[in-house]
Amino acid sequence: MVIEKPILPTWEWLWGGTGAGIPGAFSEFFRVAIILILLGLVLGLLVSVFRYGPGRGGRNYLRVLRQAPRDLLGISLRRVLGLAVLAIREAFRRRVWVALLLFFVVLMFASWNLAPNSDQPAVIYLNFVLTAATYIMLPVAVFTAAFSLPQDIKNRTIYTVVTKPVRPSEIVLGRILGFSIVGTALLLAMGV
């Protein structure tokens, strides 16, 4: 296999190339993050203006922007981690681990259909494993995250969380963190 571009050392990849003017991964990340934040602010203003009208929508938007730093600084790591643990328990109660079993079953019978006599069987197996992991994990992650809140509302379990002194942002962050941990654990198990 011919490498068209040389592989950069990790330090140069993170912080940028010295002579060629190659942007680093951190600078690219921050550039994209700033663009997404600005797009989110503009989209939030447009939604508020179209929903409530120019005057009331603008006032609501400015009120939310004034309250945002206090809300972000008031986030409790303890409550977020507690909600993340709750999301992890909920995901395993909904049998997310079945995806792991499905992955292992697919791998067991995959060798029947893959070509072991090819020139590069490792590449074929690796592509198959990565593709199978992707196609199994994407629906699991999407359906687990999308149906968790409606299911909690239906079962009235979210009401016990909301009645506590918990901010909505902490609920969202806790769920994101919990489902990310579940997905990471499943991917680690698939990787092993």
Distance CA 94, CA 152 (A): 12
pLDDT band at 171 (very low <50, low <70, confident <90, very high): confident
For 71-77, which contacts have Cβ atoms below 8 Å and span 24 or more sequence positions?
71/167, 71/169, 72/169, 74/167, 75/167, 75/169, 75/170, 75/173, 76/170
Distance CA 185, CA 121 (A): 28
User: Per-residue pLDDT for 2 more than 60?
Assistant: no
When the pLDDT of each residue in the chain is averaged and rounded to a whole number, the result is: 82
Distance CA 43, CA 30 (A): 20
User: Per-residue pLDDT for 19 more than 60?
Assistant: no
- Per residue in 84-133, pLDDT tens? 998 888 888 877 777 777 777 777 777 676 766 777 777 777 777 778 77
- The gap between the terminal CA atoms of the chain, to the nearest Å, is 26
Q: What is the residue type of 76?
A: S
Q: What is the residue type of 35?
A: I
User: Per-residue pLDDT for 64 more than 80?
Assistant: yes
Distance CA 169, CA 171 (A): 5
Q: What is the pTM of this model?
A: 0.67
